[in-house]
Structure 1
Amino acid sequence: MAKMIGMSRGIKLEWLDKTVDLIIEGKNEEDIKSELNEYLSFEIKSATNLRKSREILMNIWVRTADDVEEIKEFAIELCKRECSSRRVAHWCMMLITYPVFSDVCSLIGKITDMQEKFKTGWLKQKLFDFWGESSTLLHSTDKILQTLKQFGAIESLEKGEYKAKTYEVKSEAEESLIAMTIIALNDKAYYEVSELSSIPQMFPFRYSISHEMLHNSELFALNNFGGKVVVTGKD
């Protein structure tokens, strides 16, 4: 997928829920677009901001790339069965749709693994190193932090300072979706099983992906590489 910034608006959990509900109801793309326009208009008065917010929602859940269609279908089935799993499903879909969201989460996950707090100035400088300095990236970073706050993934401390919050993942289906997403991000050609439970992009979630779960699933392939068991997605 092309590297794009794209996340120019803060996104609320309930907006993502609404988008998924429309998909589950069997609405087509044009109907979803129309219904989101009406739904968002109660909160967003600016036509430009409404359009940008709607397009982000559509990109995350409707206009998905072919190579992640399996993940989307799995995530939708998870949303149908377990409403409590929607936070994980939305998170995974945002990671695979917006590389800048993935990079922000990776940086936050890495630093909060070492210390309790992080500052926005540090985060923005690290992102500038990856993406190049631009007003678009600066604006997007603020909106992503706003999204993370609305998700309950981070909380404000002092001005410009945050700490991460965590949620326990309780179902094997959620763990499977997390593993599928990690592999789809293509940060590595393969992962050792133990690595899957400590990926920084998944910083808000406490989970443990077991060898047994991967072995019993039809979604993953386990192989021996250099004397270690590694996991990939099945072709």
Structure 2
Amino acid sequence: MKKAVGFDQKLQLHQLDRIVQELSRSDSRQQLYDVVDQSLMADIGGSKARMNARTILFKIWVLVDNENEEIRDRGLKLFVNASREERLLLHWGMILLAYPFFRDVADQVGRLFQLHGEFSTMQLSRKIFALYGERRRVSVALNAVLGTYKHLGIISEQKKIYVSAAKISIYKLEYKLWLIEVMLKSAEKSAIELKQIAVEPCLFPFSLDITESDLRNGQLQITRQGLDMVMIGLR
């Protein structure tokens, strides 16, 4: 059975910001559709491409799975006072939840950066084709994800080689904890070792400095295995 792809249109930060802003203002789903479609016209001329972008945006922030509504709602509350970097973190987390393909690409990109400090489209394509099959839909989606990364400013392209931008430092604890929780849910992991968080491949755009004491009294639980292994899991 072929794995679903779905992510087939490049997104920009202001498009993601707009749907979150309008979500609280709109009186109905149809009104939100219309406002988002109107705003996308400035970036996307074709109606089919615009519809695809709107579908993706709605899946990320509006039409979320029932089990993700609570964490989405907490993300919306955090968004109100978020900086640009924190808004990017919130969008990143919600895309990881909405699109496993996006998460798999982020995971492979993060691994390639850790191994080589850069990657080519060919290197990344081989890894994604191994997961999803070598078909046109996968190629289109991969280009859309890479285009989104470039629009978000987290990678840049130099002579067909991609390099990472400087990592985005996140300082407020509530954003870091929210992203860790999202990462666990999106990866369907019950727990992760504390020291692994800093090098988790799918979180490659961000620098998350977190300690055991930061995790107390939150949505995450701490367990110890042996003398020096601290595991972080979902409650």
Aligned residue in 2 for 1:94: 95
TM-score, normalization by structure 1: 0.93
Query: For 2:76 and 2:107, how far apart are their aligned partners in 1?
Result: 24
Q: 1:26 to 1:38 in 2, by over 3 A?
A: closer
Q: 1:3 to 1:210 in 2, by over 3 A?
A: farther
TM-score, normalization by structure 2: 0.93
Q: How does 1:1-235 map to 2 (within 5 A)?
A: 4-25=4-25, 27-84=27-84, 85-158=86-159, 160-165=160-165, 166-217=167-218, 219-225=219-225, 228-234=229-235
Query: For 1:210 and 1:38, how far apart are their aligned partners in 2?
Result: 44
The structural deviation recorded for 1:75 is 1.2
The structural deviation recorded for 1:4 is 2.3
CA RMSD of aligned residues (A): 1.7
The structural deviation recorded for 1:187 is 4.7
The structural deviation recorded for 1:214 is 1.0
Q: 1:45 to 1:151 in 2, by over 3 A?
A: same
The structural deviation recorded for 1:149 is 0.1
Q: Which amino acid aligns with 1:142?
A: N
Q: Which amino acid aligns with 2:93?
A: C
Query: For 2:170 and 2:145, how far apart are their aligned partners in 1?
Result: 22
Unaligned runs of 5+ in 2: none
Query: For 2:148 and 2:113, how far apart are their aligned partners in 1?
Result: 18
- Residues 164-197 of structure 1: CA deviation (Å, up to 9, x unaligned): 1121112112201211112102353311221222
The structural deviation recorded for 1:32 is 1.2
Query: For 2:25 and 2:204, how far apart are their aligned partners in 1?
Result: 31
Unaligned runs of 5+ in 1: none
Q: Which amino acid aligns with 2:51?
A: R
- 2:190–2:234 Cα contact (<8 Å) kept: no
The structural deviation recorded for 1:30 is 2.0
Query: For 1:92 and 1:25, how far apart are their aligned partners in 2?
Result: 22
